Structure 1
């Protein structure tokens, strides 16, 4: 595996020197300052690549080129946004950055309700609490028809959360959901969020599948021509939110999407945290099923709570998934395909000096360093047990 690290650019509290000291060799980044849908000038890409290479690292994955909402809704003029996206793929590939992670989640990217959930050991984790999400939907957003999406028990739990929460907690919940988490590229006011939801009122799962296929029909040929690999990221959480369809949440979804285009340029990001938040997803089986269509991996673990729709980020080798089995499946895939997959440790806990310093939600330095070290150890141990390496003396 190519040990990589997500970096949000020169303003990231974690520097390129810090990343190199962590032992990573690859950088996963994007030009986050460029608005969604806009073509990325090749000179800007080259400047960022040169900055990374000057630090002794390599830009191995772009995460992400955001997909404009008009593409997802199939609004008039979506084709131009798709052509801009394809042009950015060509420019990146020309600069040697040939793996592109992206997602097709409507309106919201990854979503959490709590960015500072304290664990028993004092570490701080990210959390998605279903009753808090429902309370926001029902009592803050006041989405039309929202009550039809919840059971009587769900509504009672949301009311309990609402009764227990302070104004400050409600404001923080709102900010966490609509202000935009790192990498999401979008933030909203309550009014603009409601308006964006309304644009999906007539769009169901089948429509979104079709709009994804239409998008792929434009961008996959460009990726093939440029020698690029497109890696679609799964939904996070892997279920519908705010009545919006989500179509990248299960093996059945992934296989249906894979069948839309037979090109190897059309593939996936294996995010073990996103897929692992759903109890029905068997992650080693997903690796086996998708095979060479996996172009990039995010390795992290989540732990489902009493209500399995709620979860928090756990340590990388903990949670509800068998990370050792997943890493073994990835290493076996790499041997079969004779190619190394970029991997990054995703969403670390805030621990030690992370707790008092400045860090980006989900992306602290020390918490991810711990995750990278653990994953590196698992990978090395698997190779030794499989007889591929001897233990250094």
Structure 2
């Protein structure tokens, strides 16, 4: 596999020079300064590519070209935004960038409730507490009709949390939910979040899925022409939030997506932590089933808590998913592609959502994107990959 590293551009606290020292060779990044829905020009793409290459690295994956909200809910700017997205893909292909990771999560991107969950070893991880999320939804956001999305017991537990929490705790919770985590498309305050959610009033999972189909059929021809492989990222977490449907949450969703626009250009990102945060998703079986359409891998792990809905970011080779099994399937697929003489035989992967460890605690760090924590994860994952590769060679 190609070992890559998420970099958020010139303002990222982790520099390209530091990334080189991790032994990652590829960069995963995006042009975050360009507004959602606008075309990425060739000049802008080449300028960012030149910065990366000057540091001795390769821009391997675009993550992500954001999908405009009008595409997701079917707003009046949908056709224009789809056209701009298609043109961006053509420009990326012309610039030599061939893998694009994106997501189709409405309004709220990946969601957590705690950026500093303390671990037994003294480090910190991110966490999603379902009851704290419910408390924010019910008693901070005060979303109309929210109680219908929770059981009476969950509502009562959320109420108890809200009433016992001090101002600092509630402020930290609100900041984590509203202000946008790295890679999120938008940041919100309470009023703008309510306005964003209102656009989806009455939109069912079927409607959202159909809008995804319209989007795919609008951009896949451009991706084919550009030689670009699209790799959709699953919902994180893969369950409805704030009354919003989710449509990239399990194997059935993945199959629907691939069938909606049959093409080699229409593929998947295997995010082990996202799919693995619901116990019914067998990530090894999913990796095996969809191997030939997996174009990118986020290798991270989570531990699901007793309620079945909360989880925390565990070590990359710990947690509830069989990371060794996932890597074995990816290595097998790379060998199949190489033997068949296919393009893109090597699958880029990155260590995702590292713990806050050691010097990470003393330096500015984006939530989930600590230097030392990801370095540890990359070292562990590379060791697993090497062991799997050697085992297959000796078999």
- TM-score band by shorter chain is over 0.9
Count, aligned residues: 389
1:200/1:244 contact within 8 Å kept:
yes
2:291/2:329 contact within 8 Å kept:
no
- Mark the runs of 5 or more structure 2 residues left unpaired by the alignment: 339-344
Paired position in structure 2 for 1:379: 385
- Say whether residues 1:356 and 2:330 are aligned partners: no
SS at match of 2:60: strand
Q: Cα deviations across residues 35-92 of structure 1 (Å, max 9, x unaligned)?
A: 1101111111101100100111000000000000000011123010011111111111
1:231/1:294 contact within 8 Å kept:
yes
Q: Cα deviations across residues 148-194 of structure 1 (Å, max 9, x unaligned)?
A: 11111101110121122111111111111111110002011101100
Structure 1 residue 297: Cα displacement: 0.4
Paired position in structure 1 for 2:342: none
Paired position in structure 2 for 1:277: 277
Structure 1 residue 388: Cα displacement: 6.3
Paired position in structure 2 for 1:322: 322
280-289 or 128-137: which moved more? 280-289
Cα distance between partner residues in 2 of 1:205 and 1:277: 20
| 1:223-302 equivalent positions in 2, closer than 5 A | 223-302=223-302
Cα distance between partner residues in 2 of 1:149 and 1:156: 13
Paired position in structure 2 for 1:109: 109
Cα distance between partner residues in 2 of 1:262 and 1:287: 19
Paired position in structure 2 for 1:27: 27
1:300/1:316 contact within 8 Å kept:
yes
2:72/2:104 contact within 8 Å kept:
yes
Cα distance between partner residues in 1 of 2:147 and 2:62: 39
> Which stretches of structure 1, 4 residues or more, deviate above 6 A after TM superposition?
none
1:205/1:247 contact within 8 Å kept:
yes
2:61/2:97 contact within 8 Å kept:
yes
Paired position in structure 2 for 1:192: 192
1:264/1:292 contact within 8 Å kept:
no
SS at match of 2:159: helix
Cα distance between partner residues in 2 of 1:285 and 1:382: 17
| 1:91-170 equivalent positions in 2, closer than 5 A | 91-170=91-170
- Say whether residues 1:221 and 2:221 are aligned partners: yes
2:72/2:106 contact within 8 Å kept:
yes
Structure 1 residue 248: Cα displacement: 0.4
Paired position in structure 2 for 1:70: 70
1:233/1:268 contact within 8 Å kept:
yes
Equivalent residue for 1:340, pick from 341, 346, 365: 346
| TM-score normalised over the length of structure 1 | 0.98
Cα distance between partner residues in 1 of 2:336 and 2:153: 49
Paired position in structure 2 for 1:15: 15
Paired position in structure 2 for 1:366: 372
| TM-score normalised over the length of structure 2 | 0.97
Cα distance between partner residues in 2 of 1:295 and 1:99: 7
Cα distance between partner residues in 2 of 1:212 and 1:220: 12
1:146/1:243 contact within 8 Å kept:
yes
User: CA-atom RMSD, angstroms?
Assistant: 1.0
Cα distance between partner residues in 2 of 1:164 and 1:294: 45
